Amino acid sequence: MAGNSLVLPIVLWGRKAPTHCISAVLLMDDGATIVTGCHDGQICLWDLSLELEINPRALLFGHTASITCLSKACASSDRQYVVSASESGEMCLWDVSDGRCIEFTKLACTHTGIQFYQFSVGNQREGRLLCHGTLP
């Protein structure tokens, strides 16, 4: 983990999720998980049932400003990772299965879009995040 900040995921509710003003949405490749980022910096993991019912699973805290973008961060079907970015230049890498923040960093720029890209190098597949945004 870069820097001196420790980010811990927290689940705060029972049957009903708190209000959540969404600023970014991501549907995971499995089609069963939705990730939303909101204007106050929270990230919510939602389970999507076959009947298209959406149920909140976890509320994650790791940002101090509005979430600007979300992207998957891994091509593996075994693991689901998501990267999030905020207006204050914070970026977090999350494990969607348990809501754990794996890595945190703060940059001088604000990412407004992130796209996961996978390519081949020899016999191996590698992934990269293509980011764009603004400087302060």
Task: Judge whether 73 lies within some domain.
Answer: yes
In-domain check, residue 7: no
Residue 87, domain member (yes or no): yes
* Full DSSP string of 85-132: EETTSEEEEEETTTTEEEEEEE-SSEEEEEEEEEEEETTEEEEEEEEE
Say how far apart CA 86 and CA 81 lie, in whole Å.
17
Cα 22 → chain centroid: 13
In a domain, 26, yes or no: yes
Q: What residues make up the domain containing 33?
A: 22-134
Q: Name the nearest CA neighbour of 129 among 120, 119, 121.
A: 119
Write the burial class of residue 107 (CB in 10 Å: 0-12 exposed, 13-18 middle, 19+ buried).
middle
Q: What pLDDT, on the 0 to 100 scale, is given for residue 119?
A: 87
Q: Count of domains in the chain? A: 1
Residue 59: beta bridge partners? 10, 44
Stated length of the chain: 136
Answer whether residue 11 is part of any domain.
no
130 lies in a domain? yes
79 domain residue, yes or no: yes
Per-residue model confidence (pLDDT) at position 38: 95
**In CATH, what number is assigned to the domain containing residue 64?**
2.130.10.10
The structure tokens listed for 77 are 């079907």
Averages of pLDDT over each 10 residues, the chain, 136 residues: 55 64 93 94 93 89 94 84 96 93 93 91 88 88
Q: Would residue 83 count as lying in a domain?
A: yes
pTM: 0.82
Token couple for 68: 């600007």
